[in-house]
Amino acid sequence: MSSPDQTQRFLFDQSQIRGEITGLRQSYQDVLSKHNYPQPVQRLLGEFMAAVALLSDTLKFEGRLSLQVRGAGQVRMLMAECRDHQALRAIAQYTDDFSDSAALLGKGQMAITIEPDQGKRYQGIVPIDDNDQTLSRALEDYFRQSEQIRTRLWLAADGQSAAGVLIQAMPQSASEGSLQSSDTDAWDRVTHLADTLSDDELLNLDNETLLHRLFHEEQVRLFDSHGLHFECTCSRERCGNAILTLGETEALQVVDEEGAIHSDCQFCHQQYRFDRDEVTALFSEHRQTLN
Ligand SMILES: [Zn+2]
CATH of residue 275's domain is: 3.90.1280.10
Residues 49 and 112 placed together within one structural domain of the fold: yes
Ligand 1 mean position to 291 CA, how many Å? 31
Does residue 100 sit in the same domain as residue 41? Answer: yes
What's the structural domain count of the chain? 2
Give how far Cα 84 sits from Cα of 15, 53, 58, 111, 176, Å.
Answer: 28, 10, 12, 19, 25
How far, in Å, from the CA of 16 to the mean position of ligand 1?
Answer: 40
Query: How much is the pLDDT for 60?
Result: 80
| 62-92 pLDDT per residue, tens | 899 999 999 888 999 999 999 999 999 999 9
State in Å: Cα 233 to ligand 1 middle: 6
Distance, in Å, from the CA atom of 141 to the CA atom of 138, rounded to the nearest integer, reads 5
Low-confidence ranges of the chain (pLDDT < 50): 176
Residue at 1 is within a domain: no
Phi-psi region of 119 (alpha: psi -120 to 50; beta: other; left: phi over 0): left
What separation in Å is there between the alpha carbon of 127 and the centre of ligand 1? Answer: 29
pLDDT, residue 183, reads 79
263 Cα to the center of ligand 1, angstroms: 10
pLDDT of 289 reads: 86
| Residue-range definition of the domain harbouring residue 271 | 236-290
Q: How many residues does the chain have?
A: 291
Residue 189: its pLDDT value, please?
A: 94
What is the predicted pLDDT for the residue at 14? 85
pLDDT of residue 177: 53
Distance from the alpha carbon of residue 272 to the mean position of ligand 1, in angstroms: 10
CB-CB contact of 109 with 288 (8 Å): no
271 and 140 fall within a common domain:
no
Class of residue 278 by CB neighbours under 10 A (exposed 0-12, middle 13-18, buried 19+): middle
CATH number of the domain within which 40 lies: 3.55.30.10
**Would you state the pLDDT for residue 103?**
85
- What is the Å distance from ligand 1's center to 68 Cα? 17
Q: What is the mean pLDDT of the chain?
A: 91
Residue 151 included in any domain: yes
| Distance (Å, whole) CA 196 – CA 188 | 13
- Does residue 179 sit in the same domain as residue 282? no
